[in-house]
Structure 1
Amino acid sequence: MRGLSRHLATLCVVLLLVFGPGQGRAEQFAAGPRPGQTPVEIEADSLSSDRRAGTYLARGNVRIRHGDLTLLADEIEWHPQSGEARAPGRVSLVDAEGTLSGEDLVINLETGQGHLAQGRFFLAEHNLYVTGEGIERISTNQYRLARGTFTTCDGERPDWSFSARDLKVDLGSFARGRHARFHLKDVPVLYVPYFFYPAKTERESGFLMPRYGYSDRRGWEVSLAYYQVIATNQDATLYLDYLTELGLGKGAEYRYVFEAHEGEALVYHISGSGDQGDAYAIEWRNDGQLAGATRFGADIEYVSDRDYWQTFGEAAGEYNRDKTESKLFLSRSWEQQTLGGQLKYLKNLDDPSDATLQRLPQVRYSLVPVELGESPLYFGFDGTYDHFWRREGTKGQRLTLRPTLAAPFRVGVLEVAPELAYRQRFYSASGAEDDFSQKGMAEFTTRLSSSFARVYSPQGQRVRRIQHVVGPDVVYFYTPPTVQGRLPSFDAEDRIGPLHRLSYGLINRLTARIEPADGPARYREFLYFRLSQDYDIRESPPDPLNPRDNLRPFSDLRAELLVRPTRWGYLDFDGRYDLQTRDGKRTGFATLSLDAGVDDDRGNGAVLGYHYLREDLEYFQARVYTALLHPVHAQLQYRHDLLTSTTLETVLDLEYRSQCWSLFLTLSDRPGETRYLVSFALTGVGRVGKFGGSLDRTD
């Protein structure tokens, strides 16, 4: 009966409030909604009305719906004429943004304005909890709290929180407070006269959370940043940093996405203090198209000196960098033609001399071989123009023209592709033996290739077919001897030696057809293996009975292996084995590269690598990471030089990951220095502190 009376009460109120009072009973329904008001639905265990006061009183499991707003309480008194509702005791207010709960609510359902005591607001999108002794709901998106607190931590006693005397939350913008304190559990540890926190559902301009830190290279540092939304496809961030050991840092970052372009640019400058000089960095990345389907790209990177990376770099790929490379390039492609040009600038950070050779610019043109009429011949062309420039040393220009003529044909299962080319180079150089010089040379190649395939049916649960493809190929190269001593020497293309060589190889591919029970079939090439070698005919003995000494007709035997047995594991091998004997013994591998890795998609994995270049380098590297110790996530990186028996780098990264914060510790041991770095991040706020320094240093 109670459920029936509840539904009858709901039905009666909805009908009366939507359609209005019946004829002849206007005095009884004087509290009904005025024209233009949104209909109100009330559900309750019992419902009564006061005709003279024009109010409704609902008791027991009360639910009032008004548009997107839902009010839940044990008792609610509603005034239809004013739109005001009063709910003594515990109450909850639910809308599209979140849930507001507390005691003794007074709210106008039409305007959305109201207030309640001992309130708590939860914004689900950001997992943001806001509490206050009193909460004033100014509008759907704005709240004001007296003695308010906020946190992204779950639980009645959060791990961290901010408290403020006057806290204003503007959903879609920021939470702002004055005289704020930062608490760990219930203990205040930091006072901030003013703070702001992003409570946004969309991008909005404003100051970002300040960052604090310390390192022995940079000293104490405070970083302030302002984020500016320029348009829906553009934004910018301005940086202002103060570093006690270095000076004042200023920077600007700009990001954009246009219909035909996207990229980002960064400029940063730090004013030197004390013995330190000014330092700066410039970066720009762009990928897009200009008119006429012309692609334009930029990859600009420039720093003042190597000290910049040593000071601001943290990863191995940064702190030990010895050069920067900047490129601007344009390219345009037609059906069978490509024209491209680039400006390329190198800066050697170890030896910043004026003798570094630059290509400013380099222009390339390529014509994919096209059929000449009805003949079996195909014509192709490659052309390159290089302008070599440097402040000190020989400068000049080189134009290379290389037309080709090919006549591919097929004999049974064998594909044959002979090609004749002529390489013509023109030079104009200052400081060379001749101001102008040129040289032409012929080149001839022929490729023979084929492929054989077979399909196997292992009848596994998921793997139903495996295709094995074998592809042998042989290439013959011939370039006659040419005198080139009087040509300028800018790079390796200026001295092309005679060539009379055979290259041969054998490729094996294994591809599996995988048929999962709940999806379409897919294919995975899980093994690629290639053996190849060169035979230099020029160095082959003319008389087998009288072999010449110090000849090496056979090159190193190269083996390439790629194994992908599953999506979580891989093995890559690339090695060149030297077949030459010295003192009656094989010399072994000339180069070797071995990489293997596993990853279970749950935060656990390992990567191992071994790299060897005879008489030059040999090192081992490893990276192991795990989440098995959750909430502690660990990663260990190790690199060791086997030639000198020296550890190049050992880095241990530890993260304690709580529900609403993370603590990071990095210990790095590199030749000459052992460093530590501690940083702290709050969920929804980001990294708010970073402290580091040297534990041991050898100058």
Structure 2
Amino acid sequence: MRRSVLTFLFLLTLPAFGGEVPVVITAKEVKGNVNTSVKAHGRVVVKYKDVTIEGDKGLYDRKRETIRVWGNVVIKEGDTELHCKNLIYNLNTKEALLENVEGWLSRGERLKAERIKRVSEKEWIAYDGEYTPCSHKCPDWSVSAKKFKILLGESFAGKWVAFRVKEIPILISPYLSGPIKRERKSGFLFPRFGYISKDGFIYKQPFYLVLGRSADLTLTYEKRTIDGEGKQAELRYVLGEKNRGDLTYYQLNKSDRKDWKFNLNHTYKPSDYAYGSAKAEIVSSREYYKSSSNLDTVEQSQVYTKSDVTVSKLWEHTVLNANAVYLRYLDGSADTIYQRLPSLSIYLLDSPIPKTPFTFNLFSRATYFYRKAGGSSYRVNLEPSLKLSKQIGRVKNTSELTYMYTYYQFGNSRELWRFKNSTKVNRFYPLGSYAISVNPELTFNYVESKNQESFPLYDITDRIRGERRLSPAVELYLYGKGKRLARISAQTDYLLNGSKWKELKGDFEITPTYWLTLRETADVSPQRGGLKFLNSYAQVNLSRINLWINHYNGKEMDIQYLKWGFKLPLSPFLNFNYIQRYDLKNSTDRERKYSFTMNRGCWNGEISYRWIKNYDSTIDYQIVLTINLVKLGSYGYKFTGKKE
């Protein structure tokens, strides 16, 4: 005989948030008065708004507006799913108290604790807990503490925290936190470690300091075991919703010198029609990049620093732009280079002239030049233009006549005429499941020829060559199966005043199938003769292996190299990468890099060995280990050396 089960359903209403909020309780057995309290037994399910609570037993107290559920409790709310032994939940404030808890706070955030107190929808406090952003059953890393404060999807913070790798504690910190966006607290952050062969092991201890609601400061002390002591300050501030910035100062004291760097970044955008920014980068000397523990090889090869201030304002037909740029070359050449401090530009955009088919535009610029070695001046440019555009079917013709006037503080003035005419055709040809777009264009440029040798050489814009040039070009696209399969373009110039053709430049990119990509840049020169491939690239995805090869033939610097590599997946998380660069001009290897990259979701990292052969036959090599932990930041180890 089949046993029947009686299910009771009570619809309770509570005054909250300005209206009646329904609470639904289902269970095998429900007893009590809905106006005072209700007890439920036998797989209790409580539903309130977007919260679902399940357990073996339940008690609803209407007067206190609380629900208690115990025995195999599961609470679900959005991405949160927690399993616990006992739960007390306030229906009005959404505060909760949970015992013997384990589960997900959000996607990618797991928590295990003896007791958890939920203060609000975002803020949770865990006691005797363990936190990890790893989704694996046995987390790669986690942190545990007597007390945790967690802001869902934003941050976590705790005191006397143990950092664990596969449940094994390897480091104890008096304070640890991830990125904090609210309820920030001052305290020590997780220390960072590194290694450089000539300086020894590197220890960095950051301290986070709250300076109010709109600013915070991170102070970092750095110690190198062989030689070096560093200090760093990072100030972040918010002056308004669209007005913020940051300041960074780093100083490294070594036995024989002191190196430092200062950075400023500030942005101000009061509206969609106004923008301002200020960027400053000041470095003590070129030696800073050699002493820094920064792992960025591009920065280490930097030969200058750049600071600039930009302010832009846009109206319906006008743009005002003020810009000041200062370049400081670390070899001292900035003393002889003119700096533009500042440059003020006004652009009058294409504006229709009433009762005519023409539009008018104006470009004007006033620039003040300064040179540390001596010499300063200003220059004013005015460039009014008339433009006429006409569309006939698929053919569009645009003509533009420009008059340029330049006034120098010292020296003569200058006047030049420019004329440009462009004719472009857009044709589209469907070919069954494919289609071709062909866009030929013919442009004529005229610039008045005048002797400008008497004008001071402030920058390259003071040397404008006269020309009569005809420039044919064509661009072709191939489409198929809802995507672009190929792009081909070609362009050349015919100099009318010299009666000669310049080189024909062309490039194409073809992806005939998902596993093959080809790119090429080439030119044909009438003077040199023959076809010259400038930049060839091919990429092939075969099974799980990604192969690529790049041939580069630099025209300006006379550099020729062949670079190739591959990426081999070893597991769903681990890849092996290889890169090699061969110098074709000198028939020698220039660079090799071997690396393993790992991405486990809650952390990713790379360990690599790289060597570069210099032109004096010496070899620079480095071993780099970088680890990026979600919410804890990046950590690095670098070993460098040189072989004769």
Query: TM-score normalized by structure 2?
Result: 0.78
The alpha-carbon deviation at position 358 of structure 1 amounts to 0.5
The residue correspondences of 1:366-515 to structure 2 (distance < 5 A) are 366-367=347-348, 381-404=362-385, 421-428=402-409, 436-443=410-417, 445=419, 447=421, 449-451=423-425, 453-458=427-432, 460=433, 463=434, 466-477=435-446, 479-480=448-449, 482-499=450-467, 501-510=468-477, 512=479
> Secondary structure, in 3 states, of the residue corresponding to 1:314?
coil
> Secondary structure, in 3 states, of the residue corresponding to 1:537?
coil
Deviations 1:538-560 (A, max 9, x none): 4x5xxxxxxxxxxxx33222224
Letter in 1 for 2:608: T
Deviations 1:457-513 (A, max 9, x none): 31x2xx4xx243342414153534x443433222333344443x3323131333648
The 3 A distance-change label for structure 1 pair 196 and 472 is closer
Which residue in 2 is equivalent to 1:692?
Answer: 638
Which residue in 2 is equivalent to 1:532?
Answer: 492
The alpha-carbon deviation at position 370 of structure 1 amounts to 6.1
The residue correspondences of 1:61-140 to structure 2 (distance < 5 A) are 61-64=43-46, 71-75=53-57, 90-94=72-76, 98-103=80-85, 105=86, 107=88, 116=99, 118-132=100-114, 135=115, 137=117
Larger radius of gyration: 1
The equivalent position to 1:307 in structure 2, one of 266, 279, 287, is 287
The 3 A distance-change label for structure 1 pair 596 and 328 is farther
Letter in 1 for 2:490: R
Letter in 1 for 2:106: A
**Does structure 1 retain, via aligned residues, the 8 Å contact 2:113–2:126?**
no
The 3 A distance-change label for structure 1 pair 398 and 595 is farther
Deviations 1:87-117 (A, max 9, x none): 77644455668444344x474767966564x
> Secondary structure, in 3 states, of the residue corresponding to 2:298?
helix
**Does structure 2 retain, via aligned residues, the 8 Å contact 1:85–1:107?**
yes
The alpha-carbon deviation at position 394 of structure 1 amounts to 3.6
**Does structure 1 retain, via aligned residues, the 8 Å contact 2:488–2:506?**
no
Letter in 1 for 2:457: S
> Secondary structure, in 3 states, of the residue corresponding to 1:613?
coil
Over the matched positions of the two proteins, sequence identity in percent amounts to 19
> Secondary structure, in 3 states, of the residue corresponding to 1:309?
helix
**Does structure 2 retain, via aligned residues, the 8 Å contact 1:241–1:250?**
yes
Deviations 1:12-37 (A, max 9, x none): xx37x779xxxxxxxxxxxxxxxx99
The residue correspondences of 1:129-278 to structure 2 (distance < 5 A) are 129-132=111-114, 135=115, 137=117, 142-146=124-128, 148-154=129-135, 157-164=138-145, 166-171=146-151, 179-192=160-173, 194-198=174-178, 203-206=182-185, 209-216=189-196, 219-226=201-208, 236-244=216-224, 245-254=227-236, 261=242, 264-278=245-259
Deviations 1:375-418 (A, max 9, x none): 77776544333322111044322333445567778999987766
Letter in 1 for 2:636: K
Q: Could you tell me how far apart the structure 2 residues matched to 1:64 and 1:409 are?
A: 71
The alpha-carbon deviation at position 137 of structure 1 amounts to 4.3
Q: Could you tell me how far apart the structure 1 residues matched to 2:22 and 2:438 are?
A: 72
The alpha-carbon deviation at position 224 of structure 1 amounts to 1.5
Which residue in 2 is equivalent to 1:576?
Answer: 523
Letter in 1 for 2:287: D
The 3 A distance-change label for structure 1 pair 138 and 344 is closer
Q: Could you tell me how far apart the structure 2 residues matched to 1:3 and 1:340 are?
A: 83
The equivalent position to 2:504 in structure 1, one of 549, 554, 557, is 557
Q: Could you tell me how far apart the structure 2 residues matched to 1:258 and 1:680 are?
A: 34
The equivalent position to 2:624 in structure 1, one of 648, 671, 677, is 677
**Does structure 2 retain, via aligned residues, the 8 Å contact 1:624–1:637?**
yes
**Does structure 1 retain, via aligned residues, the 8 Å contact 2:164–2:170?**
yes
The 3 A distance-change label for structure 1 pair 160 and 572 is closer
Gap runs ≥5 in structure 2? 614-618
The alpha-carbon deviation at position 613 of structure 1 amounts to 0.9
Letter in 1 for 2:489: F
Letter in 2 for 1:190: L
**Does structure 2 retain, via aligned residues, the 8 Å contact 1:142–1:169?**
yes
The 3 A distance-change label for structure 1 pair 86 and 574 is closer
Q: Could you tell me how far apart the structure 2 residues matched to 1:212 and 1:382 are?
A: 52
Q: Could you tell me how far apart the structure 2 residues matched to 1:636 and 1:174 are?
A: 37
* RMSD of aligned residue pairs (Cα, Å): 4.6
The equivalent position to 1:342 in structure 2, one of 316, 323, 342, is 323
Letter in 2 for 1:678: L
**Does structure 1 retain, via aligned residues, the 8 Å contact 2:360–2:387?**
yes
The alpha-carbon deviation at position 536 of structure 1 amounts to 4.7
The residue correspondences of 1:545-694 to structure 2 (distance < 5 A) are 553-563=500-510, 571-580=518-527, 586=529, 589=532, 592-595=534-537, 606=548, 608=550, 610-613=552-555, 616-622=558-564, 624-625=566-567, 627=569, 629-645=571-587, 647-658=589-600, 660-671=602-613, 672-687=619-634, 689-694=635-640
The 3 A distance-change label for structure 1 pair 597 and 258 is farther
> Secondary structure, in 3 states, of the residue corresponding to 1:664?
strand
Q: Could you tell me how far apart the structure 2 residues matched to 1:381 and 1:409 are?
A: 21
Letter in 1 for 2:206: L
1:5 equivalent to 2:5? Answer: yes
Q: Could you tell me how far apart the structure 2 residues matched to 1:674 and 1:467 are?
A: 49
Whose strand proportion is higher, 1 or 2?
2
Q: Could you tell me how far apart the structure 1 residues matched to 2:203 and 2:356 are?
A: 73
> Secondary structure, in 3 states, of the residue corresponding to 2:412?
strand
Which residue in 1 is equivalent to 2:616?
Answer: none
Q: Could you tell me how far apart the structure 1 residues matched to 2:328 and 2:279 are?
A: 14
Deviations 1:122-178 (A, max 9, x none): 42344212133xx264756554535x43334456654434344x3344555865555
The alpha-carbon deviation at position 79 of structure 1 amounts to 7.7
Q: Could you tell me how far apart the structure 2 residues matched to 1:487 and 1:414 are?
A: 42
How many residues of Structure 1 are paired with residues of Structure 2 in the alignment?
621
Q: Could you tell me how far apart the structure 1 residues matched to 2:508 and 2:75 are?
A: 63
The alpha-carbon deviation at position 632 of structure 1 amounts to 0.1
The alpha-carbon deviation at position 675 of structure 1 amounts to 1.2
Q: Could you tell me how far apart the structure 2 residues matched to 1:151 and 1:527 are?
A: 47
Q: Could you tell me how far apart the structure 2 residues matched to 1:254 and 1:403 are?
A: 44
Which residue in 2 is equivalent to 1:329?
Answer: 310
Gap runs ≥5 in structure 1? 20-35, 429-435, 516-522, 541-552
Q: Could you tell me how far apart the structure 2 residues matched to 1:114 and 1:279 are?
A: 51
Which residue in 2 is equivalent to 1:45?
Answer: 28
**Does structure 2 retain, via aligned residues, the 8 Å contact 1:126–1:199?**
no
Q: Could you tell me how far apart the structure 1 residues matched to 2:124 and 2:351 are?
A: 68
> Secondary structure, in 3 states, of the residue corresponding to 1:437?
coil
The 3 A distance-change label for structure 1 pair 161 and 497 is closer
> Secondary structure, in 3 states, of the residue corresponding to 1:354?
helix
**Does structure 1 retain, via aligned residues, the 8 Å contact 2:108–2:134?**
no
Q: Could you tell me how far apart the structure 2 residues matched to 1:587 and 1:404 are?
A: 40
The alpha-carbon deviation at position 319 of structure 1 amounts to 1.7
The 3 A distance-change label for structure 1 pair 283 and 565 is farther
Q: Could you tell me how far apart the structure 1 residues matched to 2:368 and 2:110 are?
A: 59
Q: Could you tell me how far apart the structure 2 residues matched to 1:5 and 1:411 are?
A: 81
Letter in 2 for 1:127: E
> Secondary structure, in 3 states, of the residue corresponding to 1:318?
helix
The 3 A distance-change label for structure 1 pair 595 and 341 is farther
